[in-house]
Amino acid sequence: MDLITGLLMVAPLLVVIVGVMGAPLLQAVSLSLTDKRIGLPGTFVGWGNYGRLVHDPLFWLAVRNSFLYAFGAVALKLLAGFGLALVLNEELPWRGLWRAIILIPWAVPELVAALTWRWMYSDTNGIINALLLRAGLIEFPVPWLGSPQTALAAVVLINVWKGVPFFTFSLLGGLQVIDAELYEAAAIDGAGWASQVRHIVLPALAPVMVIASLLSTIWTFNDFTTIFVTTGGGPAYATTTVPILTYEKAFWNLELGYAVATSLAAAPVFIGLIVLATRLFAGRER
């Protein structure tokens, strides 16, 4: 009886989820099996689009850039967020003000952040080149977003700036639930600050770090606005990621079926990360 009652209570939600997510997903899968072009009818090609992907060097370049972008940015956000969380957990003057300031990048809309950083990176009137020139660190303006050698690192830095607050406050919340008696006992045993961080803080924050990293990886891998607004995937495809390539195939080449297949090809990665994050959440609840 309890099982039936529970199923009846969640039935409306399941209907909404299937209608809002399930039906479009099935339609996308169906579309990826055709040669549909925008404005023209499509015909069934089976796994033809996925076969093209396997032999498409641009797709594998986009996959490489996506992994470099996602995992590079997440690693830096985790390190910076951990350091800031340790600092903000101390008794600082105006600690509330510092916490509010650190939260600002997270609150800034992605479009505004991307446009601001595009101006800052400009090699004609950008503030970054102006400061470096004034400090004598460079002789000529650097085209940060216009060079294949620096473009990917430049957009990674934008994502790091935007995402560090998420890690900072996630880890700060974890720090504040650590029992103060653990620190006192460690200090009595002669453990220094570094030893306390290694043996108390890191084990306590490990679940939060893993879950925050998984969530951030999913968000960063799917990031479209930052790269599209700043570089558009260039120069020379140096910052073309899977979302950018999907957009190009759909709206520049008008190959809608191939574009959907490009997007769905990354689905196993997301499914694996989501399943892992769900299990970790469930483990923490227990």
Q: Using one digit for the tens of pLDDT, what is the confidence trace for 23-80? A: 787 888 888 999 989 888 888 998 999 999 999 999 999 999 999 999 999 999 999 9
DSSP E strand boundaries for the chain:
none
pTM, two decimals, is: 0.88
In this predicted structure, what is the pLDDT of residue 155?
97
In this predicted structure, what is the pLDDT of residue 72?
96
Residue 145, domain member (yes or no)? yes
In this predicted structure, what is the pLDDT of residue 38?
82
Residue 90, domain member (yes or no)? yes
Cα-Cα-Cα-Cα dihedral sign, residues 43, 48, 53, 55: negative
In this predicted structure, what is the pLDDT of residue 19?
73
In this predicted structure, what is the pLDDT of residue 131?
94
Q: How far apart are CA 114 and CA 225, in angstroms?
A: 8
Give the side-chain half-sphere CA count within 13 A for 91. Answer: 0
Residues of the chain with pLDDT under 50: none
> Burial letters for 173-184: b for 16+ Cβ neighbours within 10 Å, e otherwise?
ebbeebeeeeee
In this predicted structure, what is the pLDDT of residue 7?
75
Q: How far apart are CA 273 and CA 216, in angstroms?
A: 10
Q: Give 235-259 pLDDT, tens digit per residue.
A: 999 999 999 999 999 999 999 999 9
Q: Burial level of 273, CB count in 10 A (0-12/13-18/19+)? A: middle
In this predicted structure, what is the pLDDT of residue 191?
77
Q: Burial level of 268, CB count in 10 A (0-12/13-18/19+)? A: exposed
Q: How far apart are CA 146 and CA 164, in angstroms?
A: 25
Q: How far apart are CA 194 and CA 203, in angstroms?
A: 13
In this predicted structure, what is the pLDDT of residue 282?
62
Residue 204, domain member (yes or no)? yes
User: What CATH number is attached to the domain comprising 67?
Assistant: 1.10.3720.10
Residue 103, domain member (yes or no)? yes
In this predicted structure, what is the pLDDT of residue 284?
56
In this predicted structure, what is the pLDDT of residue 1?
58
Q: What is the DSSP letter of 169?
A: H
In this predicted structure, what is the pLDDT of residue 120?
96
Give the residue numbers spanning the domain of 218.
50-285
Residue 44, domain member (yes or no)? no
Residue 210, domain member (yes or no)? yes
Count of the separate structural domains present in the chain: 1
Decide: 217 and 71 in contact? Cβ < 8 Å. Answer: yes
In this predicted structure, what is the pLDDT of residue 283?
59
Residue 6, domain member (yes or no)? no
Residue 1, domain member (yes or no)? no
Listed in sequence order, the residues at least 6 apart from 236 whose beta carbon sits closer than 8 Å to its beta carbon are 148
> What radius of gyration, in Å, describes the C-alpha atoms of the chain?
23
Instruction: Give the length of the chain.
Output: 286
